[in-house]
Structure 1
Amino acid sequence: MTATVPARNAGLGSWPARRAAMSPGSNALIFRGTAITYAGLFDRVTRLAARLRSGGVGPGDRVAYLGPNHPAFVETMFATHLLGGIFVPLNVRLAAPEVDYMLRHSGTVALVHAPAGAFSVRPGTVVEVGGAYEEWLAAGEPEPLDVAVGMDDPALILYTSGTTGRPKGAVLTHANVFWNCYNLLVGVDVASDEMTLIGAPLFHVAALNQCLLPTFLKGGCSVLMPSWDVDEALELIPRHGITWMFGVAAMFAGLAQSPRWPGADLSSVRSVMSGGAAVPESLILAYQERGLTFCQGYGMTETAPGATFLEARESRTHVGSAGLPVFFAGVRCVRPDLTGAPPGEPGEVLVRGPNVTPGYWNDAEATRDAFTADGWFRSGDLARVDAAGHLYVVDRLKDMYISGGENVYPAEVESVIFEHPAVSEVAVVGVPDPAWGEVGRAFVVAMPGAALDGDELRAFLLPRLAKYKIPVHVDVVPALPRTGSGKVRKGDLRRLPGEQEAGHGRGEGGP
């Protein structure tokens, strides 16, 4: 059918029609060897939106997707936005109780999920990806839809693990996403012939807003991997002529450590981009030695996510830096009194700009605490800035650690460990790990007379937490070090020698 651009929809929901009108025969997505053109995607999104609308989805309603990377993720997102709804991408690695909380908290009314998705809360409309989804979508009306959507309307609710034990739903408006794409396109020369490999999960903001959507905006093609696999990536790169890819440090380390790396055909790759955690200088140099441009940036879900970026022209001269503030945003490093930290002195990173979240879903207190009185978003991260303005992330004010590109908040993990009847006290910290960057180390005090060991505790946590959140190391200790006011001295725990009980691998194929 002919693509008709919605006249009243100024948001992301209009993008499939706009792209289908401009480049209908170009490939938008490739998944497991099957291509979907922009015209084909527009038709599928339109039909899916009609089915969602017949199920009661309207402006402002929340539609969730639970599953790995798949064209259904992209279709559900755009169909939701075509109806003026709010898309809620959920982390497929989470345990059912975690997913259930997010479904309830967001008030999700429709859910599209992969067969392996774990949940028990059932919204009004639930569709499983596969044959049922295809039949359901095909029965949708192909007539174009035009629902009024403004740039300041919420587009996404992205859940971030909460430091108080409960996840927070960061709201991103259509404008937030648009401005982030503009910032990305200023820093990266994304082309209309781009072949973008997306192996990082789309339910995270970086793969979605830093790769898929900018590629879509330019009319390029995104090659979706269900999950990250080094050997598959090394096969897809020459097969599809991959030109650009994003990953966290663990993904790029896996490629560089593969025995196939020295002879891998990377001739089509123009640049790679990393974020989510600091990248070791040796890893950056390994890619530069292969003639690849290695760019990296700094950001967070709440900034959609780009806050700073190190452009290609500076990737060799400022190795290890997270770059300069993106074009349409301001970034400052401040002391505890919010006065500016001078060059070289670590300070908390503050961000302000049109890409910054308006706040958290149904959480006025968290929203209020996240901003300074004059409207700067408080990241909770420490960084130093050099004399030229380049940012170097050095630490986190919060206790969060990053494992394989996934944010882990100890308070959330601790709250679940406390549910074990033999646990009296617990503190969780992140410790270095050669494969994942950081993993959890739990210090547990047992109840009087109770027996407790690491294997049994991890088995208890397995159905309650995502695997990457389960501590790899468990130390059963007689007491936790505390300050005079009773707070656990986590700095002391991090400095203890690594004589932890032997841990087990997380059982995942990568970040």
Structure 2
Amino acid sequence: MRNAGLGSWPHRRARMAPKREAFSYDGVSTTYEEVAVRTTKLARRLEELGVRPGDRVSYLGANHPSFAETMFATHQLGAIFVPLNFRLSPAEINYQLADCGARVLIHAPSHQVEHERAISLDSYEDWLAGGSEEPLDVPVTIDEPALILYTSGTTGRPKGAVLSHANLLWNTFNLMIGVDVTTDDIALVAAPLFHVAALTQTLLPTFIKGGHSVITPRWDVDECLNLIEGYGVTWMFGVSTMYADLAASPRWPTADLSALRVLLCGGASVPDAVIHTYQERGLVFCQGYGLTETAPGATFLEAADSVRKAGSAGTPVFFTDVRLADTGEIEVQGPNVTPGYWNDPVATAAAFTEDGWFRTGDIGRLDDGHLYVVDRLKDMFISGGENVYPAEVENAITDHPDVAEVAVVGVPDERWGEVGRAFVRPRAGAAVDAAGLREFLLPRLAKYKIPVHVEVVTELPRTGSGKVLKPALRRLPLAPAVSPENAPGR
């Protein structure tokens, strides 16, 4: 095969184990042989729509086998796959579609997006059935772009992090060195696949080993417990909120978790109490640290150290190096690190040191070679595993005609880890109320970005140079949320 990228994976795996189950969804299983045929037919269909090497194909929708099929088919053509966050508002989605220049959009019928070449999943099967099974062999090198994953920008505009086929391949190697993934493994894919971790830390390693991925469209505790018990799930990835929900279920003490070997967690630090809850049931709970730009694994806490170093993000993964700058900022270098941002040379240059290390914007400390993430240089906070950048939220809030200025910070939240707290100064003679502001933001921002706490102030604390003192705002006592029912939607 001249295709050295991910597009060749279905055919390479099918010739080794054609009848092995690749995916299960809603009780229906698909073999590797079937995946290979379906991705070829889909690639031919995309080709008919004008998709050529280097073009972008976007996907918008909840977890579904068609996500993986679209990705592999896109890569068969040497094109670039752009998964979109289905939690975003239409305005945010339209910006990303325009920024990447998507030639084709495949989307769930629940998302009505205007695009000249849009294929809805409610007609997907009939459309796919008309595709030719004639094999393709488009030349693709591993250094070519494979994915564009949008991360909210600190300047208020999302940036498209480019990941090459090589980035994804090396991340897969790193993961499989840290976790003993086998052909008999059954992975639960419940975290959103548009997130780099669910895709590259779970689905891709399972696929390349010939394992079985059980895909569910959303995180539902009872349904996931049913899938874990029914399929004998052996490993899964989740964020802190997901694992806390699972342990809080009334079914937790009696649920059959005997097949589970490894639980991977990322996105934010996990409270020690949650870690110990899992350890008490004999479950290996492994945290890691990384970013979209590192595909994402930078460090990993292997099973042998999961008790002794609980709370640590682990040591650098095998083929990747991590160091701390004089400021304590975590910097990463390795073949899994992004080559840069889509059509954004300024952001790309700013993201790397002069000697080529990626600046994470996070502050860490090292103890016995293990990394602990302790703070952030950037203002970004994580709510339920989702990155939220205050600058983006502030930009949306200041569009309100009655708002003079605003500062947004992340504050602790028992349910989501962190949520937004907005300090709003109204224009002279105007009034701003929390409920009205949230209504204003709903069509402009994803729900998880909308601040739970909104406080109207007459002034904001500032430095001598006029910058808002966000550390001072974070230290202010937290009043109960005005409308707790408006907590971030999931």
**TM-score normalized with structure 2 length:** 0.99
Matched, 1:34 2:28: yes
Partner of 1:119: 113
Question: Which of 180, 186, 206 pairs up with 2:197?
Answer: 206
* CA apart distance, 1:288: 0.5
Matched, 1:359 2:340: yes
- CA distance in 1 between counterparts of 2:489 and 2:180 reads 31
Partner of 1:383: 364
Matched, 1:416 2:410: no
* CA apart distance, 1:83: 0.3
2:340–2:348 contact (8 Å) kept in structure 1: yes
- Secondary structure of the 1:394 match is strand
Matched, 1:472 2:452: yes
Deviations 1:354-400 (A, max 9, x none): 000000000000000000000000000000001x2100000111000
- Percent identity reads 64
* CA apart distance, 1:505: 3.5
Partner of 1:340: none
Question: Which of 129, 141, 156 pairs up with 2:121?
Answer: 129
Q: Which letter maps to 1:371?
A: F
- Secondary structure of the 2:150 match is strand
- CA distance in 2 between counterparts of 1:169 and 1:223 reads 28
Q: Which letter maps to 1:449?
A: G
Deviations 1:165-214 (A, max 9, x none): 00000000000000000000000001101110011000000000000000
* CA apart distance, 1:118: 4.8
* CA apart distance, 1:506: 4.6
Deviations 1:446-491 (A, max 9, x none): 0111111000000000111000000011000001111111110000
Partner of 2:74: 80
Partner of 1:342: none
- CA distance in 2 between counterparts of 1:329 and 1:271 reads 22
Matched, 1:372 2:353: yes
Q: Which letter maps to 1:159?
A: Y
Matched, 1:265 2:256: yes
Matched, 1:25 2:19: yes
- CA distance in 2 between counterparts of 1:467 and 1:119 reads 18
Deviations 1:229-270 (A, max 9, x none): 111111111100100011000000000011110111101111
**TM-score normalized with structure 1 length:** 0.95
Question: Which of 176, 190, 207 pairs up with 1:185?
Answer: 176
List gaps (5 residues or longer) in structure 1. 1-6, 337-346
> CA RMSD for the aligned pairs?
0.9
* CA apart distance, 1:115: 1.0
* CA apart distance, 1:222: 0.6
Q: Which letter maps to 1:394?
A: V
Question: Which of 96, 99, 104 pairs up with 2:93?
Answer: 99
Q: Which letter maps to 1:111?
A: L
Partner of 2:187: 196
Q: Which letter maps to 1:202?
A: L
Equivalent runs, 1:69-468 vs 2, <5 Å: 69-120=63-114, 122=115, 124-130=116-122, 132-336=123-327, 347-386=328-367, 388-468=368-448
How many correspondences in the alignment? 490
Q: Which letter maps to 1:441?
A: R
Deviations 1:98-156 (A, max 9, x none): 00010000010000000112533x1x4210012x1111101000111010101100000
Partner of 2:7: 13
- Secondary structure of the 1:245 match is strand
1:59–1:83 contact (8 Å) kept in structure 2: yes
Distance 1:508 1:477, change over 3 A: closer
- CA distance in 2 between counterparts of 1:402 and 1:206 reads 15
- Secondary structure of the 2:484 match is coil
Q: Which letter maps to 1:427?
A: A
